[in-house]
Structure 1
Amino acid sequence: MISSYVVSLSNKSSLFLNGSRRLHLLNKNAYINGQWVSAGSKAVFPVINPADDKVITEVPDMEAADAKTAVDAASSAFKTWKNTTAKERSNILRKWFDVCAKNTDYLAQIITAESGKPLAESKGEIAYGNSFLEWFADTARHINGEVVPSPWPNKMIMLTRQPLGVVSVITPWNFPFAMITRKVGALMAAGCTCVIKPAEDTPLTALAAAQLAEEAGVPKGVINVVTSSRKNAPAIGKVLCEDPNVGCISFTGSTHVGKILYGMASKGIKRVSLELGGNAPFIVFPSADIEHAAEHAMLAKFRNNGQACVGANRFLIHKDVFEAFVQAFKKRIAKGCVLGPGTKEGVTCGPLINTEQSKKVAGLVEDAISKGAKALIGGKPALDIGSKFYESTILTDVKPEMKIYAEEIFGPVAVCHMFETEQEVVTIANSTRSGLGSYVFTKDLGQAFRMSRQLDFGMVAINDGILSAAEPAFGGIKESGIGREGSKHGVEEYTDIKYTLFSALDK
C-alpha cells in the first residue's frame, strides 16, 4: 500500500481511495507564470472518476482571457529561456526526469483516478512518458547545425537551428502524462516555452507534472497549464492557435479537431505538429507464429482498454489461419481481460473515459450485430461493474455496410476479417484516410519488407504489438498527422533553420 501524505491546503486537495489512500500531488488550481491560479471568472468544473462517476476535485474553468495571460507569460519567459545553453536545458530536463521517477506511485494514482486505467498500466505510462524526458535531456545537447561548402571562395555558409518560440500544447485524455512529456520535453530541449491545454477529462495529471517541473527547477513561465471544460475549450483553442506570440501548435487527438486547429493555425502561417486518429490494421499471414500473434494482439488492442490512437482497429487474418488465430485470441481475452476499477488488484481493463465514448462503442457494436455480425466473446456493456465499462469483444462477419467496418473504434472491440492474398490485404489495409500505425505478423522476410514498403502508414511493426518508444520517430501520414514526435526529429519540429552567410572573408 502507498502511504498517505498530507499536502498543502492552499492549492491542493486530497481524495481518499478505497477509504485508505490519498492522492498526493493533487492540485485544484491552474499553473501560469509559476503561480497556482484560479480562473479570472472564478468558475470551476468537476473532474470525474470514470470508474465510479464520483467527483475527484474541481479545477478552474478558464476562458480566452486566461489563455492570453498564459501565452503572454510563456512569451516573456521565452526571451530568457531561448538564451540558456543546451547543457542548462539538458540538466533541468534530467532533474524533471528524476523527480517524476521518484513520484511514480503518486502520479500513477492520479492517472488511474481520472482516466480509469489500472494502476499497473498507469505506472507503465509514467515509465514510458519519463523516457521522453530522459531522451530529450540527452538530445538537447545534440541539436546541431551545419557548415555547407560554399560555391564562393570568399564566403562561408552556416545553418543553425533556432527555437520557434511559444508552443501551444493540446493533449488528449488517453495518455495524460506521456503526451505531455513527449511534446514538452522536446520543445524545452529546443529552447521553446509552452502553454499546455490538457483534455477536460484528465487535467490533474498535467497539473501534477507541472508541479514536479517546478520542483526540478523549470523557470516560471516556461511551462503553463490552462484548464477548462468543454464549453470553454473552443475559445481557448482560438487563442492558442491565433495569438501572434504563438509560434507552433502541437496537438494529439482526433482528426476532426486537428483539422479545425490546422485551419486556425493557417491564419498566422503557424507551424503545426499534429498526431491525429488512426485505423491500424493488424495483419496475420499463414507463416506467422499464431500464439505469438495472439499474444501481441492483446497488447495492440487492449492497451488502455483499446483507447489508443495506435491501437489495432482491424484484424485482417489469412483464411488458412483465421480460425486458429481467433480461438487463440478469444482464449487470451477470456483469461487476460479482467474488468474493474483501476485500483482493484488483478484488474487489467478499466472503464471507458466518459459517457460519450461508452455510447459510441456500444452503438457501433449494436449496429454491427443488428446487421449480421457475430460476437464470439463480449458484445455488451458491463453495467454490473459500472456505467462506463464495456466487455472485451471479438466481432466476426463484419461487412462494409456496418459503421464499425471503417470507423476508429477507440474501445475494447476487435473486428476480425478474413483475406486470401497479399495484394488483397494490402488493398484493404490501405483503404482508409488514416495512416498512423500498422502491424504485420509473418516469418517470411521478403514479405515483411514488402509490407513495410507497401503499407501506407507512418509506422509498421513487424511481429510486434507495441510501436512506441522515445528513440524512433512517431507519427503518421495522410489524415493521421503532420510531423514526428520522439527521436531527434521530435526536437527539430520545434526549430527553424537559420541561414547565415559570412562574406568578404578575403578582406
Structure 2
Amino acid sequence: MSHALTDLAISELRELAANVLRRLGVEPPEPGELTARTPITGGELLTLRASTTAEVDAAIARADTAFRAWRTVPAPQRAAVVRRLSALLTEHLDDLGELVTLEAGKIGPEARGEVQEMIDVCEFAIGLSRQLYGRTMPSERPGHRLMETWHPLGVVGVISAFNFPVAVWAWNTAIALVCGDTVVWKPSETTPLTALACHGLLRRAARDVGADPEVHQLIQGAAAVGEQLVDDARVALVSATGSVRMGQLVAPRVAARFGRCLLELGGNNAAIVTPSADLELATRGIVFAAAGTAGQRCTTLRRLIAHADVAEPLLDRISSAYRQLRVGNPLEEGVLVGPLVDARAYDGMRAALDRALTDGGEVVCGGERIEGPDENAFYVRPAVVRMPAQTAVVREETFAPILYVLTYHDLEEAIELHNAVPQGLSSSIFTQNQREAERFLAADGSDCGIANVNIGTSGAEIGGAFGGEKQTGGGRESGSDSWKAYMRRATNTVNYSTELPLAQGIRFE
C-alpha cells in the first residue's frame, strides 16, 4: 500500500489490519467498548471488550496457579518457550511490524526494528537460562559452606506504553519466563491489537513445546484495569513503562503492599557537542535521535547543548537535514517521520512551542502541522528551537519532536546544564577529545542511566541494561544482570561438619 496522506481511506487500513491479524492467527475480537484506532488517519480499526474486574482477578489467579508449577521447571527447559516464540516472531516479523505501524504510527523500518528487538531479547533470554548464577563465599565457621541462590519471584505484572507496544513487553516477558515467573500483561489501550497478536504468539509457542500457556495472561482496558493489577498482592513485581506521573501513582501503591516495582518513566535526554566533534557524524546522530518516531521515544533527543564555537554550523546542518525529512504515511516507502499518536500529543507540542516562544525561544525550523487525511490525524514537521536559557518548558518532557538548542562555553557548564533536569534516562557527547569523553562518563559527569559517546541518545542494544535515574524511575530491563529484578535471592548456609559452631565465635553452652 502506497498512498499520499490525502488519499488514505480508513476502510483500506481496517482491511489491512484484519488481514494481518489473520496471518498472525488471531481471531477477530468480540466487539466492545475499547477502540483500536490508527494514528495514520485517526480512524477506528475495530473495537474489542475491555477486561472486567472479575476477568482481571481470574487472570491473576491463573498466573498465580501456573507459577507454582512453572517455577519447578528447569530454566533451560523454560527457555524452550522463548526459543519457539523467537522462531514465530522471525516468521511473522513483517506482519507484526505492519501491525505496529498501523497502531503506533511508526514507519516501516522502525516498526520492523522493534520486532527485531523482540527476537534479540529472546536470544539473550535463551542464553541467560543457563547463566542464572549464584555465588559461594568463604564461611567463617569450619565445615560450613556459605552461598547465595536465586529463585523465581512470582507473578510479574507488565504495564507497557503505546510507543513501544511490543518490544518492552518482550524485554520483560522473555526474561521473566526463563527466570521462572509468570506474566500478566496490561498493554496501552492505544495498542490493543498488537497485544492480542503477541499474546496469541506466545501461547502458541507454549503449546508447541508442551508448556502451560497459562504462564501468560493478557488483560485489556483503561487505567482501572492497570490499577487492579498494581494493587493485587499476588503480583510480586510490577514493571511499568510510562510517564513520570504514572510512576508517581504506581510506586506508592505497590510499596504499600510491600511489592516490587521496576519503573521506566520519563526522559529529557541531551547531547553535548564539543568544539572537537565531527559535525557530520553528530548531525546524523542528532537528527535520528530527535526526529525518529516523531519524537515519541523515551530516549528521544530533546536538548542539544552545543559549544558556542560550533553552534551555528551545526544548526545549519541540522536545519538542512530537517527540511529534507519526509513526513507522511508511515506505510509508504521513503517516509521518515510518521504521525503523532493523537490530538493530546499535538496539543502538548503546540503548548510547549508557545511557552518556548514566550520564554524568548526562536523556532529555527519546523513545528507546523501538515494536512492529513482527516482532522483526527496529526502530522507535524519536527521542530528545532533555539533557547536563551534552560527554562521550565525545556526541563519538562514533551512527547513530541521538539529539539531545544542551548549553547555553552565550558564543558563543566555543559555538564551542569545537562544534569539540571529531573529526568535521567539517556545522554550523549559528541567529541574527538578523549579527556572530554572520559569526563562525561565519570561519576560526576552524566547522571543518566545511559551515557554514550559519538552516538545519539536512542537505539540502545539488548546486551546492556536499559533504564535511568531520578524521575526515570531507576529500573533496569533487558540485558546485563537486569534478570535479578525478576528473581528473589536466598542466602544459604550448609553445615557439613559434626560440630555446631556459632557465628562470631559465640559460645552458648
Report Cα offsets for 1:16-70 as digits up to 9, x if no partner. Answer: 4397785323699999xxxx986xxx84211111110111111222233221111
Does the residue aligned with 1:168 lie in a helix, a strand or coil? strand
CA separation of 1:23/1:399 partners in 2, compared to 1, >3 Å: closer, same or farther?
A: farther
Residue of structure 1 in register with 2:13 after alignment: 17
Please tell me whether residue 131 in structure 1 is matched to residue 126 in structure 2: no
Structure 2 residue aligned with 1:497, among 471, 489, 492? Answer: 489
Cα pair 1:362 1:381 within 8 Å, conserved: no
1:397 Cα deviation after fit? 3.2
TM-score if structure 2 supplies the norm length?
0.90
Structure 2 residue aligned with 1:390, among 374, 380, 402? Answer: 380
CA separation of 1:506/1:426 partners in 2, compared to 1, >3 Å: closer, same or farther?
A: same
CA separation of 1:287/1:205 partners in 2, compared to 1, >3 Å: closer, same or farther?
A: same
Specify every segment of 5 or more residues in structure 1 that has no aligned partner in the other structure, as ranges.
3-13
Structure 2 residue aligned with 1:145, among 130, 134, 145? Answer: 134
Residue of structure 1 in register with 2:214 after alignment: 221
Cα pair 1:237 1:261 within 8 Å, conserved: no
Residue of structure 2 in register with 1:460 after alignment: 451
CA RMSD of aligned residues (A): 2.4
Cα pair 2:382 2:401 within 8 Å, conserved: yes
Equivalent residue letter for 1:490: S
Please tell me whether residue 243 in structure 1 is matched to residue 239 in structure 2: no
Indicate the larger mover: 491-500 or 366-375. 366-375
Report Cα offsets for 1:81-107 as digits up to 9, x if no partner. Answer: 111111111222111011101101110
Please tell me whether residue 167 in structure 1 is matched to residue 156 in structure 2: yes
Residue of structure 1 in register with 2:418 after alignment: 429
Report Cα offsets for 1:129-174 as digits up to 9, x if no partner. Answer: 2211111111111101122211111222221101110011000100
Report Cα offsets for 1:219-270 as digits up to 9, x if no partner. Answer: 22211111103xxx1x322321221211001011111101110011011111
Residue of structure 1 in register with 2:326 after alignment: 338
Report Cα offsets for 1:423-443 as digits up to 9, x if no partner. Answer: 111111111121110011001
TM-score if structure 1 supplies the norm length?
0.90
Does the residue aligned with 2:337 lie in a helix, a strand or coil? coil
Residue of structure 1 in register with 2:335 after alignment: 347
Does the residue aligned with 2:369 lie in a helix, a strand or coil? coil
Structure 2 residue aligned with 1:64, among 37, 40, 53? Answer: 53
Cα pair 2:81 2:205 within 8 Å, conserved: yes
Cα pair 2:204 2:213 within 8 Å, conserved: no
CA separation of 1:20/1:247 partners in 2, compared to 1, >3 Å: closer, same or farther?
A: closer
1:285 Cα deviation after fit? 0.3
CA separation of 1:348/1:119 partners in 2, compared to 1, >3 Å: closer, same or farther?
A: same
Cα pair 1:398 1:415 within 8 Å, conserved: no
1:119 Cα deviation after fit? 1.6
Following superposition of structure 1 onto structure 2, how do residues 205-284 of structure 1 map, counting pairs within 5 Å?
Answer: 205-217=194-206, 219-229=212-222, 233=223, 235-284=224-273
Cα pair 1:373 1:397 within 8 Å, conserved: yes
Does the residue aligned with 2:368 lie in a helix, a strand or coil? coil
CA separation of 1:236/1:19 partners in 2, compared to 1, >3 Å: closer, same or farther?
A: closer
Aligned residues: 483
Percent of pairs with identical residues: 27
Work out the CA distance in 2 between the residues paired with 1:136 and 1:288.
Answer: 37
CA separation of 1:462/1:391 partners in 2, compared to 1, >3 Å: closer, same or farther?
A: same
Cα pair 2:274 2:307 within 8 Å, conserved: yes
Equivalent residue letter for 1:352: L
Residue of structure 2 in register with 1:314 after alignment: 303
Specify every segment of 5 or more residues in structure 2 that has no aligned partner in the other structure, as ranges.
3-9, 500-509
Work out the CA distance in 2 between the residues paired with 1:176 and 1:220.
Answer: 21
